[in-house]
Amino acid sequence: MMKERELLIRFKEYKPEELTPEDKSLVNIAIDSASNAYAPYSQFRVGSAVLLSNGLVVKGNNQENAAYPSGLCAERVAMFYANANYPESSITAIAVVVVDSEGNVIEQNISPCGSCRQALAESEMRFKKPIKVLLASKKSVLIFNSIEDLLPLSFNQGDLGLSK
């Protein structure tokens, strides 16, 4: 028999001042890092900060190129650097922000692109540890407990887990 299935995605919305000191610090590092974005083509300066299980924080920002597809998003810059240099450490959390030309966080909530979600999902599966995702704007910070909530039913060459 055909079954209609539903996916429920829960996330929390905080005001920036409601964040824990740890989360606030990660968001602030992402904001700081966004100023180093190389975004002459889009003028969209994205910053990311990855907290590793070893306690270190790795910064990323988008790096564009005149051959557009050769550039890379802030999330993957940080994540790949982290995995390249600390291969034993899982990613505990990632914060993502966009800043304007003055370095101020923009009003809109932004969200990682599909390719970054896929890459983050791979990291979650590789280390079998959920990655907390913090998406910060000027007015609010959205917190997801796992990248699975941003990319449900992701491709992983395995069972989708719908038999439950």
Per-residue DSSP letter, 146? -
Q: Are strands 91-99 and 141-144 parallel, antiparallel or unpaired?
A: unpaired
Q: For ligand THU, what does the binding mask look like between residues 19 and 58, x meaning CB under 6 A?
A: --------------------x--x-x-x------------
Stretch 106-145 residues interacting with ligand THU (CB under 6 A) = 112-113, 116
Which of 29, 49, 50, 62 lies at the binding interface for ligand THU (CB under 6 A)?
62
If the CB atoms of residues 113 and 153 are measured against ligand THU, the closer one turns out to be 113
Q: Are 149 and 11 in contact (CB under 8 A)?
A: yes
Q: Are 76 and 50 in contact (CB under 8 A)?
A: no
Shortest distance, CB of residue 64 to ligand THU, whole angstroms?
5
Out of 6, 17, 75, 124, which one is annotated catalytic?
75
109, burial (CB in 10 Å: exposed 0-12, middle 13-18, buried 19+):
middle
Tell whether residue 97 is a contact of ligand THU (CB under 6 A): no
Ramachandran angles phi, psi of 124, nearest 5°? -60, -45
Q: Which residues lie near ligand THU (CB under 6 A)?
A: 39, 42, 44, 46, 62, 64, 71, 73-75, 112-113, 116
